[in-house]
Structure formats: C-alpha cells, structure tokens
Amino acid sequence: MIHASVILKAKLLIVDDQFANVLLLERLLRSAGYSEISSTQDPTEVMHLHQQNRYDLILLDLNMPEMDGFQVMESLKSIESDGVLPVLVITAQPNEKLRALKVGALDFLSKPFDIAEVLARVKNLLQVRLLNLETQKLYQQVLVEQNLSDMLLHNMMPQAIAERLKGRSKLTSDHLNQAIVDSYANVTVLFADIVGFTTFAQDVSPEVMVGVLNDLFTRFDNIADHHGLEKIKTIGDCYMAAAGLPVVVPDHADRAAHMALDMLSAIQDFNASSQHPLNIRIGISSGAAVAGIIGKSKFLYDLWGDVVNTASRMESHGTAGRIQISEATRQALNHSFSLEHRGIIDVKGKGKMSTWFLNSPTLGDHIDACSITR
C-alpha cells in the first residue's frame, strides 16, 4: 500500500483546450492536497512535457482541436515502452470511453465533473500506478542482487557445481544441505608455494604483502582459466588448482603441466617489474580423487584423496624455481615434455618415490638423459 503522503506528491498534468475545465480540475485537486500539478491547453505539447517531467498521471480531454486525445495517446506510446499509458481520459461522449480504454487509457472521467468521482478515480489510479512502479523498482533490485549472487557463486566454485547448487534453491532445506560429492578416476592436482614468503612478509607492510599476493594469484588465476584448470583454493601463500574436474578431460596432466610452466614464466614477468623478487616451488601429481561441497555454511569446493597429499609432497619436497611431478603424472602425460629424472627420494608420509622435474616442452620426440616418457 502506497502512503497517502506519497500519492499527494505525485506529478499530475491536466490537458484540456477549455481554460475553465483546467481551472476547475486544478482547484479540485489542490483542495484535496495535490501539489505537483501542471497544465496545458495545447495537446501538441503533451509528449514533450511528459518526456521532460514523466508525469504519474495525465488527465486528458479527448475532444480538442488540432490534435485530439486519441492522437495524444498514440504519441505517448513511443515513450511508454510497456504500452501502459498514465492517462485518465476526460469525455462527454459515452461511446468514446471503450475506445479510449482499448487505445491504452487507464480509466475515464465523464463530463460534467462529479467532484467525488474525480478525486476517487485520481487517487485509485495513482495508488495502483505508484505501487506498480515501486514493484518494478524492487524487482530490478532483486535482479541486480541475484546477478551479484550468481557472480559470487561462480567465482567461488566451478560453473557446473554452481548450477547444481542454484538448482537446489527450489528444494527443501534438507535437500539444500545435502553434500555435493563426485568421484573422479583420473585428475591432476597442482600445488605452488611462494619460496621465502614468510621472511618477505616480515620485511614489508601488510598492504604491500597483500598487494603482492593479489598480483601473483591474479596472474595464476588467468593461467588456470586459459588452460582449463579449476582453482581450488589458496592457503596463505600456497596456490592449489586441479585439472580434470568437475568436467572430465583426457589431457588433465598436460593442462597442469602447461599451467606450471606458465606460472614460472609469470614469476619471471613479475620479478622484472617488481621491487620484491620472489620464486615459487611447484608440485604435481595425478590419480583418483573425490571433490565437492560439504557442510551447511560458507560453501567451498574442495578436493580430497591421496593424489592431493602426493601433489602437496611434490611441492614441499621440491626445489625453488622448478616443477616436480610424480611418476603417476609422468605416465599420464599425453604429449611430449622435457623431463629430468630426479631419482628416488624419501617423501614424508609416502616413503620412497620416483620423481621428475618438468622443464619446457620440446618439439620433437620426448627423450631425455634418463628415460622416454611413454
């Protein structure tokens, strides 16, 4: 319900070629408390006046020289895109009322005027029109908030998972709170850690530290998007991404390898223009995993499985400025990459493992000093 004070502030336009009718209507409306009242005896001015002032209601006489009320309403349709004209027609001809309503008028007033009828029809039309305008405004706000919500949701998790969550919005809270969990036979997980970041953070302001992290992680995000990996999360100065989920792809290991190589290039580009040169250590492994969303609040798409632990160990047991991959990832590569066999290393929690350093791609057959990849 629209408050009476809002209705009385509505903008009104009286259009009648007879000055006496304009004066009468204006006095009636002002006596009822309406203050924003304009008038004209020239129907050709209506369209221009409405474009400038956007009246809430136009009291329009139908029988006028030069341009009758029907012609005025036709011209107003070019302004009101929804076809609903804010027009209360005034006529002494009963047969014109139905025609006016078909053209787009909201209602009609009969001549000679009945004071109670004039005030009642004006108030009712304004109440309905202002309520519709307020509803449209609220609807647009809802659309803006929904678009923002969708954008945030898609930024927080993969699009396929976000769409599944949105699809649950019409279900009960029990369905909404059910975990989303999917199993994958083959994925590749990448971990990257900024070497010496703890020491670096102690020597700069918090603002500089956050700015550096934001710069680097934004570069990594762009690389992940380019190669089709899903950024899983960041933990402090550690960056985690995965290939092969939630959309299964056969070249998941290749995608992760290309991303890792591009990340090394990104660090070099960063150092070339930064006063704070840094380095990264990257680890990659491939295998089965479970991914999804669990819990009831602060949803986060995450990944679980031995492949996650192994990829993390490949990073933590790696070397600054290099990419260490597991034997499983070496076997999962589909295309030629330059690999350097590091040998057998003792990995915490995993025991002895054969690992490899990933170098730049080669154009020819994949052969290195130690082995052939396939």
Q: Which pLDDT tens digit goes with each residue over 113-127?
A: 888 999 999 999 998
The yes-or-no verdict on residue 108 having pLDDT over 60 is yes
Q: How many CB atoms lie within 10 A of CB 23?
A: 13
The yes-or-no verdict on residue 55 having pLDDT over 90 is yes
Q: Which are the contacts of 19, defined by CB distance < 8 A and separation ≥ 6? A: 41
State the catalytic residue, choosing from 37, 58, 161, 194: 194
What is the chain's mean pLDDT, rounded? 86
> What confidence tier does 363 reach under pLDDT thresholds 50, 70, 90?
very low
Q: Which are the contacts of 96, defined by CB distance < 8 A and separation ≥ 6? A: 62, 89
The yes-or-no verdict on residue 105 having pLDDT over 80 is yes
Active site residue 193: yes
The angle subtended at Cα 239 by Cα 238 and Cα 240, nearest 5°, is 125
The yes-or-no verdict on residue 171 having pLDDT over 60 is no
> What confidence tier does 298 reach under pLDDT thresholds 50, 70, 90?
low
The yes-or-no verdict on residue 266 having pLDDT over 80 is yes
Choose the weakest-confidence range: 206-210, 255-259, 329-333.
206-210
Average pLDDT over residues 192-219: 91
Count how many Cα atoms sit within 13 Å of the Cα of residue 248 in the half-sphere of its side chain.
9
Average pLDDT over residues 292-308: 80
Considering 2-11, 62-71, 135-144, the range whose residues carry the highest mean pLDDT is: 62-71
Active site residue 194: yes
Pairing of strands 180-195, 107-110: unpaired
State the catalytic residue, choosing from 237, 254, 267, 323: 237
Q: Which are the contacts of 285, defined by CB distance < 8 A and separation ≥ 6? A: 188, 189, 307, 310, 311, 313, 314, 325, 326, 328, 329
Q: Which pLDDT tens digit goes with each residue over 312-354?
A: 999 999 999 999 999 999 999 988 899 999 999 999 888 999 9
**What is the Cα–Cα distance from 95 to 89, expressed in whole angstroms?**
13
> What confidence tier does 258 reach under pLDDT thresholds 50, 70, 90?
very high
The verdict on pTM exceeding 0.75 is: no
Structural domains present in the chain: 4-138 (3.40.50.2300), 161-358 (3.30.70.1230)
State the catalytic residue, choosing from 193, 251, 267, 280: 193
